[in-house]
Structure 1
C-alpha cells in the first residue's frame, strides 16, 4: 500500500515537472512572438526629435514604433529644441538617438559656430532627406525676394539653432545681417501663428516639406515661399559645401509654381559609446522598414542614399550594416 502511494507521488511529481517545462517553453515562445529584445543590451531607447510643428517630430514617432516592434524594446520619441539641443543631449547621455541637420552635426564635432567646445560623443547612423530652407510669408505681404525682408519682423529660429545659422548664412550672401531685420526667435508653430495674426511678416523654416506648421497656415491663408536667386545659391554652396539646390514643388502649400531654394540634409545620430551590435540592429530595423513610414518624407529615406553627405563619422554598428548592404566600402 505504501509502495503504491510512493509510486503515485513520484508519477505526480514527474507530471508537474513536465508541465512546468512545457510552460517555460511556451512562455519563452510567446515572448519571442511578442517581440523579444533580440539581444539588445538595453530595454529602452530614447529618440529626440524637434518641435511639434516640424518634420522630425512625426518621423521620430514612426521610427520609435518601428524600432519598438522590430527589436522588442521600449522606444520613446520626444519633442525637443531640434538639432543643436539634440547634439548636447547625446553628449550628456540624456538621449540615445537624435535627429539633426548634417551641418549642425559637423559644427558640433568640430566645435565651430554655435558650439564653443567639441561634441565628441556623437556618431552617425545615416542621412535621411533634404531639409529645405523655406522663407515663408503670406502671398499678399509684398515680400518677393530675400532683400525685401529688410526692416521686417522675421522669425529666424532660436539663437544658436540650425535655422538661425541657415538664416544668417543666406542673409550674408545677400549682403545683409541679422541687424537688418527685426528678428524674432520663434518655433515653427509660433512662426505660423505669428504670420497668421500679423505679428510677423515672414519666417525662416528649415524642415522637410511639407512642414506641418506651414501646411496648417496654408489651409487658411494663401502663402508663398520666397525664392533664392540662382547666383546666390551657387555662392552659398561654394562657401558652405553642405548646402544643396532644392525646389519647393508647385502644389505644396497650394503654390502655383516651383520655388527655387536650398537645403541641408537631415540625419540620425547616436551616442558614440553605444554598443556596436545595438546600433547595427537599430540601423537595420529603420532602413529595412522604411515602407512602414507613412510620412511623405519616408519615400526619400533609403539605405543607398543614407551614406551620402554625412557630416560626422559613422558609428561602427551603422558602418557594419551599410557595408553588408554594399553601400559602403
Structure 2
C-alpha cells in the first residue's frame, strides 16, 4: 500500500512539473516575440541594394548611400550594379534583393500591373522615399542634324532595355509627338553603350533617363560636342496631363558644354523596399539616408531632403519609413 502511494505521489509531482514547465514555456515564447518586435531582434544583418549601370547615377550614389546605412545602423549594406528600374522591381518581387533604386513611374506601373507589368501586378514592394529628379535626356552630337523629337524619325536611336524606365519614357515621348518605336531604328543599349555608339557614329541619338550631369554623357562631351534635344512646351504640358508622374525640367546651360538651357521632362528616382523587410530595419535605414545625405559627395545628394521625401510617390510607404516621416512631421503634398 505504501508503495502504491509513493507511485501516486510521484506521478502527481511529475504532472505538476510538466504543467508548470508548459506554462513557463508559453510565457517565454510570448516574451521572446515581444522582444523581437520592440527591441529590433528581427532586424536584418545584411541588405542588398540594387542600383543601375556603372555609367549612370544610381550606382555611384547608391554606393555612398549604402556606406551611410552600414555605418549608421550596423547593417551591412551592399550596392550592386543592375539593369535598373524594371529589373530592380522584379528582383524585389522575387525576393532577390531587399532594396532598389527605381523610377516613380516604373514602380507605379508595376503596382498597377500596366505597361511592362501588364498582367503581372506587383503587390509586395513598398516605398522608402523619393530621392532626386531623373531627367529624360535625348542625347545626340551637335553635328547630327537632330534638333527636334520629330527629327529622330528614321534614325538609329538607343531607347534602353525593353520594359526599362528609359524605354517607357522614350515610348511615351514619341507617343505625344505622334510617333512610335516603329518610326525609329530602336536599339536596346545601356548608357555607356549608348554614348559610345554616338561617339563611334554607330547610333544617332540616345534616350537617357538619369540625374544630370550623367557620367556617361559627361564622358561623351569630353570627345564630342553634345546636343540635347528640347521638348516643346505644348508637348510637355500634354505629357504631364496624361502622365502625372512627369514634371517639366531644365538642363542648365554649361552642363555638358551646352550653350543654352534645354527644356525637357523628368520623373523622380526613389528607393523601394520588399515588404518582408522588418519595420525596425526600414525605420533605421530611412533615418540613415535622410539624416546623412549632406555628407555624400555626389551632386544629386543635395536633392535628397525630408521636404521632398514623399514627392511623386504613387505606391504605399513601408510602415518603417512612415514611422520615421511621422516623427519628423513629413506628410505627402
Q: TM-score, normalised by structure 2?
A: 0.86
Shift of 1:42: 1.5
Q: Given the alignment of the two structures, is residue 193 of structure 1 paired with residue 196 of structure 2, yes or no?
A: yes
Match of 1:17 in 2: none
Shift of 1:74: 1.4
The match for 1:57 among 56, 59, 67 is 59
CA distance in 1, matches of 2:92, 2:125: 7
Match of 1:44 in 2: 46
Which ranges of structure 1 fall in alignment gaps of 5 or more residues? 1-36
CA distance in 1, matches of 2:180, 2:94: 33
Q: Given the alignment of the two structures, is residue 96 of structure 1 paired with residue 104 of structure 2, yes or no?
A: no
CA distance in 2, matches of 1:290, 1:41: 23
CA distance in 2, matches of 1:246, 1:83: 20
Shift of 1:274: 1.2
Match of 1:107 in 2: 109
Q: Given the alignment of the two structures, is residue 295 of structure 1 paired with residue 312 of structure 2, yes or no?
A: no
Deviations 1:259-284 (A, max 9, x none): 00000011000001211111000100
Q: TM-score, normalised by structure 1?
A: 0.87
Match of 1:179, SS?
helix
The match for 2:283 among 256, 280, 285 is 280
CA distance in 2, matches of 1:144, 1:39: 58
CA distance in 1, matches of 2:223, 2:201: 14
What are the residue-to-residue correspondences of 1:45-194 with 2, within 5 Å?
45-115=47-117, 116-194=119-197
**Retained in 1: the 8 A contact 2:221–2:257?**
yes
Deviations 1:213-248 (A, max 9, x none): 001000111101000000000011111010000000
Aligned residues: 293
Deviations 1:174-208 (A, max 9, x none): 11110000111100000000000000000000000
Match of 2:306, SS?
coil
Q: Cα RMSD over matched residues?
A: 1.2
**Retained in 2: the 8 A contact 1:38–1:71?**
no
Match of 1:223 in 2: 226
CA distance in 1, matches of 2:42, 2:226: 47
Shift of 1:328: 2.2
Match of 1:114, SS?
helix
CA distance in 2, matches of 1:264, 1:96: 23
